[in-house]
Amino acid sequence: MAKMKVRRAVKKRHCRFCADKVEYIDYKDILLIRRYMSDKAKIKARRSTGNCSQHQRQLSRAIKRARFMGLLPYLRELYR
């Protein structure tokens, strides 16, 4: 008898910025931006953070601006 694969119900993540009705993601808000970066200073994917496409684009733009201004690192300390 063939085994049937069991599908798990994936919990739908909702965009935190839409829930809080955020119009603009500020690049100077480092504590907020750092949540959406991995430990290697990479930008987390939309499917793992649950952001909508509009806010994910704004978030990535804010992270890149903060990196350029020197507020966030491009790489983790270990790799420098």
Domain ranges of the chain: 16-79
Percent pLDDT > 90 in the chain is: 68
Find the mean pLDDT for residues 25-31.
94
Residue 1: pLDDT above 80? no
Contacts of 13 (CB under 8 A, 6+ apart): 49, 50
Fold classified for 16-79: 30s Ribosomal Protein S18 (4.10.640)
pLDDT computed for residue 14 by the predictor: 86
Residue 3: per-residue pLDDT? 78
pLDDT in tens, 34-68: 999 998 899 999 999 999 999 999 999 999 999 99
pLDDT at 80: 55
Amino acid residing at 33: I
